[in-house]
Structure 1
Amino acid sequence: MVKNLKYLFKGSLALSAASLLFSCSTGYQLVKANRAEYNINKNLAVDSSIIKSYLPYKTQLDAEMNQILGYSEVEMVKSNDLPETVLGNFFSDAVLAEALKTDPTIDFSMPSTKGGIRVDVPKGAIKLSNIFELMPFENELIAFTLKGTDVQELINFIAATNGQPVAGIRLKIKNKKPVDVFIKGKPFDPQKTYRVLTSDYIAGGGDNALGFKNPIEKKVLGLKVRQAIINYVKANQAAGKTLNPKLDGRIVND
């Protein structure tokens, strides 16, 4: 009798579990849906509760972004048409100077393309917001050891695109090809290897950049492009210097 009750109890449990499983799996069905459109424009009434929610964060963000990092004696203007610009020189020199503190073996840099430099930098006070607008991306700096043939590919790209922001290298462009190339003051030698600084975006072929597919070695510096520029402006300010970048003929059309 006890044995029969035992089997009966197990059977009841199994039946209850099965019933619960099927009842849970039925779920709900959507029988009606309402849709409405809300136009967001100047006629939309102000929602004070939303403003109250975000205002403390906006106040803190504004205070941070309005910090003055340093000063510039000139306006730095963006241009995609010129082989060399004051803004491009500032950008590249700043990034290279800060990267050399981590890796002094770097020979030259192309930390961005002209398209990657987003806005002008004003004359006078340079705020943190100016640098975030100039470089809004989270790109990391990487130092590559490249064969001379790969460096040649990169130099060809620079010439074919009528110049890019560079530092530590000088060249002339003739019929969209590079001539008279000098790296750290010495003639470029395709038989040598070079240490080249760029961003992870450019290294991955961003903006169709060439030369970084088969590096001998690569080293992630743990420094973002934007942070390098911020550090550079702050360092000049701490040293009592104002920024005064100039055109120096590092890339010219022959």
Structure 2
Amino acid sequence: MQNSTKLSTLSFLLGSFFLCACSSTYQVVKSNRGEYKVTQDVTADSSVIRTYQPYKLKLDSQMNEVLGYSENELTKKLVNGESSLGNFLADASLAEARKIVPQIDFTMPSGNGGLRNDLPLGAITLSNVFQLMPFENELIVFELKGSDVQTLLDYIAVSGGQPVGGLTMKIKAKKPADVLIGGKPFDPSKSYSVLTSDYIAGGADGISSFKKPVSSKVLGLKIRDALIQYIKESKNKGVKISSKLDGRITND
């Protein structure tokens, strides 16, 4: 019994010691602040370079992959309401999305501000596509009432033109005119299947057309991935990317 009592007492004392040790508090008594300017005069740290170099080489090899080829430079410069790059992005997004939802009527997958870089004449690399579309924007198909489609057309007109596919229109005095969807005159009494991105649908640039859709379907396809697929498929067919101004939007 005495040994048992001694062990219990010893366990209690050790527990109390560790409890007190764990409850100790520390206070900062002194701190020093320094600034280190990063300039060209700073020598490279070889140990850091050795650490990231294998990852950089692997990433470079992936980003330098040639996806396909273009017959002409695709630029985001707006000319009379459209751009060669915007036309390409809209047509490629629409083509890939229609493999999932064939009945899509037209698309405005991105605004002009979402096109971040031109695509070059000749080889198009994975890096080029990431520079063009660095965002993780998802493609979504919305069924919209004619009245909501009208507000989208109004936005395209007042903004001077946006990337569109499956749609042609004239802009007169900042208002849409002679609108054709799928080659047929726009009918405000009908519903239309419209492809766009989650960013546009979320109200980007004050767009409210997608707030109350009849229905919506997330495709599980990013704009960037649609472009990559489209360019690769063209290359496999032996076809070069060719996107030019075709008058789908004219701004009078």
TM-score w.r.t. the length of structure 2 is 0.92
Q: Which residue of 2 aligns with 1:30?
A: 28
User: Residue 131 in 1 paired to residue 126 in 2?
Assistant: no
Q: Which residue of 2 aligns with 1:246?
A: 244
Post-superposition offset of 1:164: 0.3
- Cα separation, 1, equivalents of 2:167 and 2:232: 25
- Cα separation, 1, equivalents of 2:208 and 2:77: 22
- Cα separation, 2, equivalents of 1:76 and 1:236: 16
Post-superposition offset of 1:124: 0.6
- Cα separation, 1, equivalents of 2:220 and 2:153: 26
Question: What pairs up with 1:6-155 in 2 under 5 angstroms?
Answer: 24-79=22-77, 82-155=80-153
Q: Any idea what SS the aligned residue of 2:230 has?
A: helix
- Cα separation, 2, equivalents of 1:193 and 1:81: 30
Decide whether aligned partners of structure 1 residues 252 and 99 sit closer, same or farther in structure 2, where only a CA change above 3 A counts. same
Post-superposition offset of 1:42: 0.6
Q: What value does the CA root-mean-square deviation take over the aligned residues?
A: 2.0
Post-superposition offset of 1:18: 7.6
Post-superposition offset of 1:210: 3.0
Q: Which amino acid aligns with 2:115?
A: I
Runs of 4+ in 1 over 4 A off after TM superposition: 15-23
Match of 1:231 among 226, 229, 232: 229
Q: Which amino acid aligns with 1:46?
A: A
Q: Which residue of 1 aligns with 2:213?
A: 215
Decide whether aligned partners of structure 1 residues 50 and 212 sit closer, same or farther in structure 2, where only a CA change above 3 A counts. same
TM-score w.r.t. the length of structure 1 is 0.91
- Cα separation, 2, equivalents of 1:17 and 1:177: 80
Q: Which amino acid aligns with 1:42?
A: Q
Q: Any idea what SS the aligned residue of 1:56 has?
A: helix
- Cα separation, 2, equivalents of 1:20 and 1:81: 76
- Cα separation, 2, equivalents of 1:201 and 1:21: 54
Post-superposition offset of 1:80: 5.2
